[in-house]
Amino acid sequence: MQVVRTIAEFLRLKRHLCRQDASEKLRRPSVGFVPTMGNLHDGHMALIRRMQKDDDIGVASIFVNPAQFGPAEDLTKYPRTLEDDLRKCDEAGVHLVFVPDESEMYHPDRSTEVAVGEITERYCGASRPGHFEGVSLVVAKLFNIVQPDRAYFGLKDYQQYRVIERMARDLDFPLEVVPCPTVREWNGLAMSSRNNYLSPEEKTVASTIYAGLCAAAIAFNGGVSDAAELVRKAQAELDDAVKLEYLEVAHPETLEPRAVAERGDVMLVAAKVGATRLIDNIILGSETNNAD
């Protein structure tokens, strides 16, 4: 595994690796890519394992992207565990890990924006102004640098996945955006680097978020399709200390809110437990929500 800090060095090493692999296999190798902000947990590693299985050359990036954090958000205290992350990537067989610093990624006078439009406006986009513009900008840049054939994204960040998928389609990035199921703690809590901020008691409180989503999914399977009723079913499971930001049923691709749920719709939730903001979702009528 090679750890690369500059774009020029990344391009040089990737070219070298591809050439080597092509002459061994007598065909152009496929390049997989998993972009991350580091502090790697089993959710990230599931994406990386999928990439290692499906692609000849595995690339991961670790970059805590300042452009996607609001001024009052947790950029400075976001957990940074580079040594541990690199060890995990190495053990998983990743070929190249791109670890740029801010000055490598952003010119001081950058002015280009990547705005994906309406799909970014609701839910997390409403409560985190500028967040998805920061995500789409950095992912577009990383796609141009890495030029992968496949890029893997977690369904845990459902809206982000749909935003990236839309961006890749609209801007003709020649790659496949591959969604990967949410990996959960034993109690159902979706794995997240932000779970590190939770006390053990708060983790128990936070696990009721997934219990709520499951209750809605069970009600849907039992014939309830009224979205407001599904929301009530979910709310009934939530610990009082879960402070909801949004809890809604939406069309799985456009993310338009639904009054009447259909099979395949997504129930999206964001909530605060203590000072920690958590997100999760479930697909209604699906048996494949989780990575087991």
Residues 142-161 vs ligand AMP: string with x where CB under 6 A? -----------xx-xx----
Q: Please pick, from the candidates 4, 37, 231, 283, the single residue that binds ligand AMP as defined by CB under 6 A.
A: 37
Cα distance between residue 141 and residue 199, in whole Å: 36
Q: Do residues 114 and 137 lie in contact, with contact meaning Cβ atoms separated by under 8 Å?
A: yes
44 touches ligand AMP by CB under 6 A: yes
Beta-bridge partners for 208: none
Residues 165-184 vs ligand AMP: string with x where CB under 6 A? ---------------x-xx-
Q: Do residues 282 and 216 lie in contact, with contact meaning Cβ atoms separated by under 8 Å?
A: yes
36 touches ligand AMP by CB under 6 A: yes
State the amino acid at position 226 in one-letter form. Answer: D
133 or 157: CB nearest ligand AMP = 157
Q: Using alpha carbons, select from 236, 239, 195 the residue that is nearest to residue 218.
A: 236
Q: Please pick, from the candidates 32, 43, 100, 252, the single residue that binds ligand AMP as defined by CB under 6 A.
A: 43
Identify the helix (H) or strand (E) that includes residue 250.
Answer: strand 242-250
289 touches ligand AMP by CB under 6 A: no
Q: Using alpha carbons, select from 50, 75, 145 the residue that is nearest to residue 104.
A: 145
- Name the active-site residue from 16, 41, 44, 107: 44
52 or 225: CB nearest ligand AMP = 52
Q: Please pick, from the candidates 192, 208, 225, 289, the single residue that binds ligand AMP as defined by CB under 6 A.
A: 192
Q: Which stretch binds ligand AMP (CB under 6 A): 38-46, 124-132, 227-235, 246-254?
A: 38-46
Cα distance between residue 76 and residue 84, in whole Å: 19
State the amino acid at position 48 in one-letter form. Answer: I
Cα–Cα distance list, 175 to 3, 63, 145, 167, 214 (Å) = 23, 21, 13, 11, 33
Does 95 participate in catalysis according to the annotation? Answer: no
Q: Enumerate the active-site residues.
A: 44
- Interface positions with ligand AMP (CB under 6 A): 36-37, 43-44, 46-47, 153-154, 156-157, 180, 182-183, 190-193
